[in-house]
Structure 1
C-alpha cells in the first residue's frame, strides 16, 4: 500500500477529507493517505511541501501560487473550495479601534510571511485605498492561538482569519469583528509536489476521484450541519449560513482564474513576475 501525506488546516472546510479518511476510502485504491493538521496555515504548508514533509496540501490559492512562482516545486491539481473565503478583520475586545479605517498604519498580526493572513492584508489595504509601504506593518504570531494570546496583550493591532472559524472568539471574546474581506478568487486548492506527480500521478487521480465524490454529496449528508456544529464548536445557525455560502469544486483552476490571481499579486507587489500556467497547473493525462 502506497503511503502519502496530506496537510491542511483543522477547519470545517476540510471535513470531507476527515470523512473519507475515517471510512478508509483510499484503501480501496491501495493508498494509505494520512492527514496532518497545520495550525500555522498556508505559510507552514508551503514550507512542508518544499522540504518534503508532506506530499499534498489543501491550501489557500494566493499563497501557493505565490510560492510556486518563488520556487516551490509543486503544482495545483484542483480547486477544492471554489467560493471565496470570507476573512474576518479582528481586533482585541479591549481595543480602541472601532472600524477598519481606524487600522490604517497599524500592525497586522500574521501567522507568517507568505501566509493567507499576510497576503490578504494587502488585499484589504487595496480595498481601503491604503499605501502598501506606509500603511502596512506586520507582527508574526504563528497561528490563531498566537493571535488569541497576543492581540489582547497589544502585540499586533488586528488579525485576519476565516470569519466562521473565529466567530466563537468574537461571540465569547477575546476578539471583536470590525470588518470582512472576501478573497477575489476560489479560496482553497489542492497542491501536490511535482516529484509525486511524476512518479504516482495515477494515485493522485484516484485520490481526487474519491474526495470529489464526497464533496459532490457533502451538503446532502443527513444532519451534516449538526456534525459540523459539534465537531468545530460553532453555533448551528452559523454553520448553516456558512454551508449556504460555500461551494466545493471538482475542477482545476481555469487559465483565466490563474491569470487573475497572478495579476492581482503583481499589482499588490507580492510577486515580481508571472509564469506560464503550465508551470502552476497540473493537467492530468
Structure 2
C-alpha cells in the first residue's frame, strides 16, 4: 500500500471519540501509512452528513439514526461498522429556572436542535411519540452547538433541548438546564461511515484504519485512570464518567438488519421517512486484512 494516504475524518468533540485521539497521539495511523486528519464537528450529525455530501470529510464517526436517514435521503455514503453498540442516553432539558418539572407540561414548547437531520432533531420525534404529542405540531429552534442551546434556553427562544446526558451534566449541575427525563435510543449510538468515493479510492486504507481504532476501543476501558483522564479532558465529574464507562460498549460489528428495521419502523411511525430501504443500500463490507499485516 502506498504511504501516507490521507483520510479526513470528523466527529463530535465528546468522550466517545477519545480513542481516536489517543491513536493519533500514538502515531498509530501514521505507522500504517495513513495521514488521519481529525476535524471536531461540534454541530453534530446534521453537519457531518452535510460535510460527507460535500466531500469535505471522507469518514464520519456519526449517530446511527442520523446517517441512516441521510443515506436514504441521497447521501452517497455507506456505513462501514458500528462504533458504539450501546444506546445513547439523551437528557431532556428545560431552562433551569422553569417551574415545570415534567416533560408532559411542555407540550407546546419550542425544541432547540443543532441541525435538521441531527440526533437532537430526530430524537425530538421519539420524545413526542413517547408523550402522545402530534409530531406535525413540533416547532424547532436551530442552535448549532451546545453553547447555542444554552443561549436559546436561557433567553426563552426554546424551552426543550435533547443532548447526550453526560455532556450536559455540568450544565445541569450549574442550574442552567433542568433535566426532566432521559430517553435512550433503541439502537446503537454511533457508526463509522465513509463516502462512496473514499471507499472506491482508499478501501485498503479504510480497512487498516478500522483495524487500528478497533484495537484502541477494545482496550479503552482498561487504560489505568481512564475515568480521570476523560473527566479532565471533557470537564466532567469522575463519578459521571464512571457511570458512562459502565454503560458504554464499543463495537467492531457491522450494522444488523434488525437494527435498521427498528430505526425504519420508528422513523416511519413519526413521519420522518416514507420508505423502507434494504440493508445492502446502507452498509459496505470492507475486506478483512491479512493476519500478518
TM-score under structure 2 normalisation? 0.95
The answer for the alignment partner of 1:198 in structure 2 is 200
Match for residue 117 of structure 1 among 98, 116, 120: 120
Match for residue 248 of structure 1 among 247, 250, 254: 250
Give, in whole Å, the separation in 2 of the partners of 1:102 and 1:59.
Answer: 32
The answer for the alignment partner of 1:104 in structure 2 is 107
Aligned length: 284
Alignment of 1:149-164 (within 5 A): 149-164=151-166
Moved over 6 A (4+): none
The answer for the alignment partner of 2:134 in structure 1 is 131
Match for residue 58 of structure 1 among 29, 36, 61: 61
Give, in whole Å, the separation in 2 of the partners of 1:231 and 1:204.
Answer: 28
Alignment of 1:159-238 (within 5 A): 159-238=161-240
Shift of 1:95: 1.7
Shift of 1:272: 1.4
Q: Name structure 1 gaps, 5 residues minimum.
A: none
Match for residue 273 of structure 2 among 271, 274, 278: 271
Bigger mean CA deviation after superposition, 77-86 or 262-271: 262-271
Shift of 1:158: 0.7
Secondary structure of residue in 2 paired with 1:227 = helix
1:155-193 Cα shifts (integer Å, max 9, x gaps): 111100000000000001311111111001001000100
Higher helix share: 1
Secondary structure of residue in 2 paired with 1:52 = coil
TM-score under structure 1 normalisation? 0.98
Residues 1:280 and 2:282 aligned together: yes
Give, in whole Å, the separation in 2 of the partners of 1:265 and 1:17.
Answer: 30
Match for residue 20 of structure 1 among 19, 23, 26: 23
Residues 1:86 and 2:84 aligned together: no
Alpha carbon RMSD of aligned pairs, Å?
0.9
1:187-212 Cα shifts (integer Å, max 9, x gaps): 10001000011111111110000000
